[in-house]
Structure 1
Amino acid sequence: MPPSSRPTPAPAGTARAGSARWSDLRLRVLSALVLGPLALLCAWAGGPAWTALLALCVLGLGWEWSRLCGAPALRPPAIGLPLVLLVSLGFAAFGHRPAALVALAAGCAIIGPAAWMRGTPRGLLLTAGIPYLGLAALSLLALREGPAEGAVGRGNLFFLLLVVWASDIGAYLVGRLVGGPRLAPAISPGKTWSGALGGLAAAMLVGLGAAALFDPQPGVPWRAMPVAGVLAALSQAGDLLESAIKRRAGVKDSSKLIPGHGGLFDRVDGVLAAAPAAALLGLILGQGVPLWR
């Protein structure tokens, strides 16, 4: 009997794996197409839209941080962390910045002992999340709505976002193409020194372009390059910090809040680390002065 000319069917496991990858890719693309423009629109508009987005983010980030620290759900430490962040942001949104800082300090004083008494596995790290996440949120609010509000505030915020994103993309592409020695193999084996340097270079170039785009003054804003380099270095440090926290918690993603992308912390770890430095620079420069001038 002649052999059959019909093709051999693919194993069921291979077909299921391919279908799962395609489904995950669709989720990633759909989430990016919906959430990305929405976040950028809120950042561009500022005002209540930006504040509302930050409020949602601090609730999600607070929940993810408490989860990574092993705090049981619906227990005081796990509930208290996002609530403290929300109260602090609310004070700042209504112009009471000293009260916002006091709220963060009070949260540390209350949640720290509560986590210790309840035996939370990583209680110290849980408490550290209050100033880390809280100061980042206050900084992002101040960059857009603080002394340099309006067009300058919008430019400062987008300068930060573009620099961090350029650092992430540049580090990924250069690291994949060049490879080389590992940056921190015990924390994140996939990161390389070539990727880190490529990310810094990409951030500095994009920072220069963003400054030229948002700055109405003539001339080349060369100071944007070192400022972008510092912010990019901090964002990469924030990425490593998140990797270390997740490795200690034994998880791949901070959560599954964003379909196909993992958690909020996975997407904004670099922004969280770089935002306080950008806000501090804006405070030093004064009202109406872009970060790159």
Structure 2
Amino acid sequence: MAASEAEAPAPRGGRFAGLLVRALSAIVLGPLLLAAVWCGYPWIDLIAALAAPVMIFEWTRLTRGAPVLRVLAWAYGLAALLALLWLRHQPAFGRETILWVLICIWATDIGAYFVGRTAGGAKLAPRISPGKTWSGLIGGMAWAAVASAVTGYAFGLGETVHLALAGAALAVVGQAGDLLESAAKRRAGVKDSGRLIPGHGGLLDRIDGLMAVLVAVAVARLVAGTSWPWT
């Protein structure tokens, strides 16, 4: 989601320019989201209700002139919100699942940001998002694998190796969601989906990877037919 690396080459001020603003935004918004996830109903439902119109507005801006893409972008965004609510309200591991997802996504973002900007190297998708590198993807996968294993162990969610592999896989899914939104922004000729969050841009810029992961985890849980698919 989530802006794991800048959409353009590093601005003046160093390769970590803008990090302070991003960190402050995360410090303010992160605890609010975690509190809503922890408490569940009605707070997580309120978060989803507030996010829905913002997502629709930003997707509408990014898909201007393409009604089919617009509808698909709405079905995708709303599917992510439904996945969030469905997973959180599960009687078994609902809270733990969402916390695990968030920690994996945040670890992916942090790992990709620092490893990518430090190591550099070959571009991951230069025509879509010039700032992203293969080293950033690998760093994000590594950080997510560790975070997934540690979080899963703490919550008693399953085997450590399975959790590590699942975390690495979610990092790839999250980066794919990030690239999907980057492609939409490039098509629209804009840098950010909006100006809602200082240091991050719009809401979609913050949750692009999270949306993809929520949908993927919900599908995996449905297919597995169990309360937790990575045991």
TM-score of the superposed pair, with normalisation by structure 2: 0.86
Match of 1:66 in 2: 60
SS of aligned partner of 2:196: coil
Aligned length: 217
Which residue of the other structure, out of 149, 153, 169, is the alignment partner of 1:212?
A: 153
Match of 2:220 in 1: 281
Equivalent residues of 1:133, 1:272 under 8 A apart? yes
Q: Structure 1 residue 270: deviation in Å?
A: 0.4
1:242 and 2:181 correspond: yes
How far apart in 2 are the matches of 1:270 and 1:221?
23
Match of 1:145 in 2: 89
Match of 1:265 in 2: 204
SS of aligned partner of 1:190: strand
Counterpart AA for 2:78: G
1:144–1:202 CA distance, 2 compared to 1 (3 A): same
1:198–1:39 CA distance, 2 compared to 1 (3 A): same
Counterpart AA for 1:48: P
Equivalent residues of 1:224, 1:291 under 8 A apart? no
Match of 2:131 in 1: 190
Deviations 1:165-188 (A, max 9, x none): 111111111111211111111111
SS of aligned partner of 1:227: helix
How far apart in 1 are the matches of 2:19 and 2:137?
26
Match of 1:123 in 2: 67
1:43 and 2:17 correspond: no
Counterpart AA for 1:199: G
How far apart in 2 are the matches of 1:254 and 1:174?
25
Equivalent residues of 1:234, 1:273 under 8 A apart? yes
1:216–1:159 CA distance, 2 compared to 1 (3 A): closer
Which residue of the other structure, out of 17, 20, 28, is the alignment partner of 1:34?
A: 28
How far apart in 2 are the matches of 1:223 and 1:31?
32
How far apart in 2 are the matches of 1:47 and 1:38?
14
Gaps of 5+ in 2: 1-11
Counterpart AA for 1:138: L
How far apart in 2 are the matches of 1:241 and 1:139?
18
1:199–1:28 CA distance, 2 compared to 1 (3 A): closer
1:157–1:241 CA distance, 2 compared to 1 (3 A): same
1:173–1:216 CA distance, 2 compared to 1 (3 A): closer
Q: Structure 1 residue 26: deviation in Å?
A: 7.4
Gaps of 5+ in 1: 1-16, 71-120
Greater RCO, CA 8 A, separation 6+:
2
SS of aligned partner of 2:191: coil
Q: Structure 1 residue 263: deviation in Å?
A: 0.6
Match of 1:88 in 2: none
Greater CA drift, 28-37 or 182-191: 28-37
How far apart in 2 are the matches of 1:26 and 1:201?
24
SS of aligned partner of 1:197: helix
Q: Structure 1 residue 25: deviation in Å?
A: 7.5
SS of aligned partner of 2:107: helix
Deviations 1:120-149 (A, max 9, x none): x1212111112211211111111100353x
Deviations 1:18-47 (A, max 9, x none): 9xxx9x887655543332211110011111
1:41–1:169 CA distance, 2 compared to 1 (3 A): same
TM-score of the superposed pair, with normalisation by structure 1: 0.69
How far apart in 1 are the matches of 2:145 and 2:156?
16
Counterpart AA for 1:240: L
Greater CA drift, 258-267 or 242-251: 258-267
Counterpart AA for 2:120: G
